[in-house]
Structure 1
Amino acid sequence: MANVWHKKSNRRIADLDIGNCLMKDGETIKLHEENVMKNTKKLQNSLVIKVFGDNILAYVINSKIKRQWLYLGKFNLTWLGKGWILCSFEDEEALDLVLSNGQWFVKGQIIGVEKRSTSFTPDSLKGLTTPIWIRMPSLPLQC
């Protein structure tokens, strides 16, 4: 039995038997358009979320989000790295409810929410929003 803690050696693409998955140049992998379309459809009702502030363990974030959004029906959380989580819902209504009903928190830390797009990159915070309330006592009525 192999020891799972040992790092596996890298394999060169040229050494793999990948049959008809290469382009004519022999170096570029072909994408199967039907698989890309199927995966795009699966991601249609997805959000990317990020918990800001202190580092919180993944299992804690997972349990807190699932508890808060339990009423939305089935959804799946996938860890993307760099603190980002993909949240895929079964229907668009659940996605819209998250986007419109919240200030969402995990252990007092605010959650940024963005509808997943093809331009998403884990290195950017562009487009990430969360509604917040700001209290300004004694603000003049005209303001």
Structure 2
Amino acid sequence: MGETIKLHEENVLENTKKLQNPLVIKVFGDNIPAYVINSKIKRQWSYLGKFNFLWLGKGWIMSDIDDEEALELVLSNGPWFVKGQIIGMEKWSTLFLPDSLKGLTTPIWIRILSLSLQC
């Protein structure tokens, strides 16, 4: 009541640098424990270098992929799965809302039999 919170500019700048290439991830389907998701994704992405996960709640995970090229590889080299459940992901932005699926993508392959080759 009437109290104010003062932000330290150095901390804000340092945290902003950490949020240059974060990725938000959601595993769809069954409720899979966090340690399993962590283990499975780290194994699949191990060739990209080091990264960590931050559990945001409501099934959302943030990954701190430092390298822009590695981030693009993760976004384009899917689809990714954990225990048979597909992973949706997007680059984090200040507009991210954990209650929304807007912008969430995952590359998928579909097979349509008897479709002409030119199609």
Pairwise CA distance, 1:37: 1.9
Corresponding position of 2:66: 90
What amino acid is the match of 1:79? W
Aligned length: 119
Corresponding position of 1:23: none
> Cα RMSD between the aligned structures?
1.4
Corresponding position of 2:85: 109
RCO (CA 8 Å, sep 6+): is it higher in 1 or 2? 2
**Is residue 37 of structure 2 the alignment partner of residue 61 of structure 1?**
yes
Matched position secondary structure for 1:65: helix
Runs in 1 of length 4+ with deviation above 3 angstroms? 140-143
Q: Which consecutive residues of structure 2, in runs of 5 or more, have no partner in the other structure? A: none
Tell me the TM-score normalised to structure 1 length: 0.78
Tell me the TM-score normalised to structure 2 length: 0.92
What amino acid is the match of 1:73? G
What amino acid is the match of 1:109? Q
Q: In terms of Rg, which structure is larger?
A: 1
Q: Which consecutive residues of structure 1, in runs of 5 or more, have no partner in the other structure? A: 1-13, 15-25
Show CA shifts across 1:36-57 (max 9, x none): 2211110112100000011111
What amino acid is the match of 2:110? I
